[in-house]
Amino acid sequence: MENYLFLIPLFPLLGFLLNGLLGCRLEKPFISYIGCASVGAAFITAVLAVYDLIGRPAGDRQLVQVLWSWMAVGDFQLDVSLMIDQLSAVMILVVTGISFLIHIYSTGYMHEDESYWRYFAYLNMFVFFMTMLVLGANYVVMFVGWEGVGLASYLLIGFWYQGTENADAGKKAFIVNRIGDFGFVLGMFLLFTTFGTLSYLELFPEVAGLHHQGSLSMNSPVMIAICLLLFLGATGKSAQIPLYVWLPDAMAGPTPVSALIHAATMVTAGVYMVARSNILYTLAPTALLIVSLVAAATALMAATIGILQNDIKKVLAYSTVSQLGYMFIGVGVTAYTAGIFHLMTHAFFKACLFLCSGSVIHAMGGDQDMRNMGGLCRKMPITYATMLIATIAIAGIPPFAGFFSKDEILWKAFNFPYYPAAGKIIWFIGTLGAAITAFYMFRLIFMTFHGNFRGTEEQAHHLHESPISMTCPLIILAILSIFGGWLGIPHLIGQHFGHVSNVMEHFFEPVFADSQAIVAAETGILHHAPGLEWTLMAGSVLVALAGIFMAWTLYIRYPEYLLEKLARAYSLHYRLVYNKYYVDEMYYLLIVLPVYHLSMLLWKIVDAIVIDGLGVNGSGWIIRKGSCAAAKIHNGYLQTYGSFFVLGVVAILGFLIFYQ
């Protein structure tokens, strides 16, 4: 199967080329067939590759295909190569599988759009670059995919570019991500100058070997620098503090695009990159502490902002930022399996949530304000049922998928091996964020589907359930939101059901074995009484239920009285959270305005006066004046020419006589 790995990115690339070059001449059914079939073929190929991988011995689960040699300088050789191991296997199935469902959904959602062919071309391009990012066998191929999904997201977020706000959102996403990418590039350069390779198969064993030999110590400055630079890239792509501001504005694109970017693909790239670099981070505990603290702050901050958002897609956007924080908490406390497990379950329920919101927006005629909704459960039963399931999953209620992955992260954070005291703080922040998540997600459910309809009569007249092309993906994702978490049932629960094992933990064990061995050697293996884990597990469920009860009290039981009373009592806090802590305004005052005024100053002085005035216009003025002076000599009179000839001869003779 190694010889066929190239087909996984090739199929979406062909779909992009066909729709991009010929789509404007094709009918919409053919455009959708090309777009969906290309991603579906990539998914089937990925399934076959993973099936081949699983059939191999645990220590030999690695498929590598070298496509061609990119460059060779001295002893350094860089290949364009693809690799599937346990980590990329899960990622590629999630990416291609959910992308296929989103393509199917898009056939109904975007059917009336004039740029139907352009939409599917961009979507296929996005999937192509994401598969390259996941399957790349070295950091350079990963970076090509990394930059490619950045370009594709810019095109998709600003898809309806006729609106200035949409175009600005695309530019904002592109520019903010370039800041993070600068850190990624510096991290790669430092990796290469330190170890001489960027290939995973060469780099990671070399790093582990150097540590075992004593040549590479824990927390060495160079390892901390490498990890923090790579994490800077991850904060941009995966929307962590301080580079998260682009993601909520990315809602300007079509809703299926939001599902694609926010659920299964681009925003999880940073988490995947850190997990892929696990051996590097394990040797830099200080970097791990920074990663986990930034992640915890992001998870809590984004969750609080989501409380007062009224745009249904903005609620889900800040929910994504918060959930990405939980994934980074997982990888930050060396629970790499838990982080990737939550990435997978989050892809299921967040894709479902976004596509359900698209179904609601489709029925509402484009209106995204939840204050204009209400009572939609009677008109849209399938959308309501699937969105309720996904909401229960993200709230962390057992036995839905989100419970198992989120609880595993919180448990591992509580037992942070490198920094136990910090781990307790991170656990508390994560638990508080879980309660807030349950609150604002059920607030969304209650405002959208319960109570009386608050929209216009025209909207009420057109309310209807979405077509099967849109509801079928919702049902599949809802099923995955229920059962997807069962792959990671913790040992504490599994032992009561015939010793059911944690499939994810065993599957990923070879990928993270070196890291776990180093952690165990440095900190020892911690043992805790099962009662403590049961207590923390029950506590996380109880706080989630408390959040749901609070949402029911405020938005169903006493919808007007308590809300107004709380808004008046906490007016300062209300304004602060409602305005998203004024982060965008601070960035505008501290970064955008100074850079703008500096650029204007440079334009008026350096560009206009020095370059244009003295350089371009000044040189032209000198040539013009010189030519005018020379023109006076050439006046057509023979005696003038004779006089200058005689003067020239006299000057030359005088020069020769003087020096002799």
Residues 475-484: tens digit of each pLDDT: 999 999 999 9
Q: Where are the domains of the chain?
A: 1-137, 159-551+569-578, 582-659
The CA-CA-CA angle for residues 504, 509, 515, to 5°, reads 125
Query: Where do the H-state alpha helices sit in 369-467?
Result: 381-395, 401-414, 420-449, 457-462
Candidates 592, 566, 576, 493; CA nearest to 534 is 493
- Helix then strand then coil, in percent of the chain rounded to 5, is 80, 5, 20
Q: CB atoms < 10 A from the CB of 336, how many?
A: 26
Residue 622 identity (one-letter amino acid): I
User: What DSSP state is assigned to residue 136?
Assistant: B
Number of residues in the chain: 660
Note whether 513 and 337 are within 8 A (CB): no
CA distance 198 to 137: 9
CA distance 472 to 82: 33
User: What DSSP state is assigned to residue 3?
Assistant: G
Query: Where do the H-state alpha helices sit in 464-529?
Result: 468-483, 491-494, 503-523
The angle, 0 to 180 degrees and rounded to 10, between the axes of the packed helices 86-109 and 336-363 is 0
Which pLDDT value is given to residue 319?
Answer: 94
Strand pairing class (76-84; 63-73): antiparallel
Pair of tokens at residue 2: 């190694």
Burial of 201 (0-12, 13-18, 19+ CB in 10 A): middle
Residue 484 identity (one-letter amino acid): G
Note whether 487 and 379 are within 8 A (CB): no
Backbone angles phi, psi at 369, to 5 degrees: -80, 120
CB neighbours of 351 closer than 8 A, spacing ≥ 6? 98, 101, 102, 259, 263, 264, 477
CA distance 191 to 188: 5
Q: Chain-centre distance of CA 7, in angstroms? A: 24
**Three-state SS letters, 207-266:** HHHHHHHCCCCCCCHHHHHHHHHHHHHHHHHCCCCCCCCHHHHHHHCCHHHHHHHHHHCH
Note whether 152 and 33 are within 8 A (CB): no
Backbone angles phi, psi at 200, to 5 degrees: -60, -45
The CA-CA-CA angle for residues 615, 620, 625, to 5°, reads 130
Note whether 510 and 208 are within 8 A (CB): no
Residues 455-478 as b/e (b if ≥16 CB within 10 A, e otherwise) read beeebeeebebbeeebbbbbebbb
Burial of 37 (0-12, 13-18, 19+ CB in 10 A): middle
> Residues 481-501: pLDDT tens digits?
999 988 888 877 766 665 567
Residue 627 identity (one-letter amino acid): S
CA distance 186 to 229: 7
CA distance 158 to 251: 10
Q: Chain-centre distance of CA 498, in angstroms? A: 38
Q: CB atoms < 10 A from the CB of 490, how many?
A: 17
Note whether 342 and 326 are within 8 A (CB): yes
Which pLDDT value is given to residue 287?
Answer: 96
Q: Supply the DSSP string of 542-561, one letter for each residue.
A: HHHHHHHHHHHIIIIISTTH
Note whether 465 and 331 are within 8 A (CB): no
Which positions of the chain have pLDDT values less than 50? Answer: none
CA distance 10 to 13: 5
> Residues 316-366: pLDDT tens digits?
999 999 999 999 999 999 999 999 999 999 999 999 999 999 999 999 988
Candidates 41, 5, 43; CA nearest to 476 is 43
CA distance 314 to 298: 16
CB neighbours of 436 closer than 8 A, spacing ≥ 6? 300, 303, 304, 306, 307, 547
Pair of tokens at residue 378: 């009677």
CA dihedral defined by 186, 188, 192, 198, rounded to 10 degrees?
Answer: -170
Terminal-residue alpha carbon distance, the chain:
89
Pair of tokens at residue 214: 């004593």
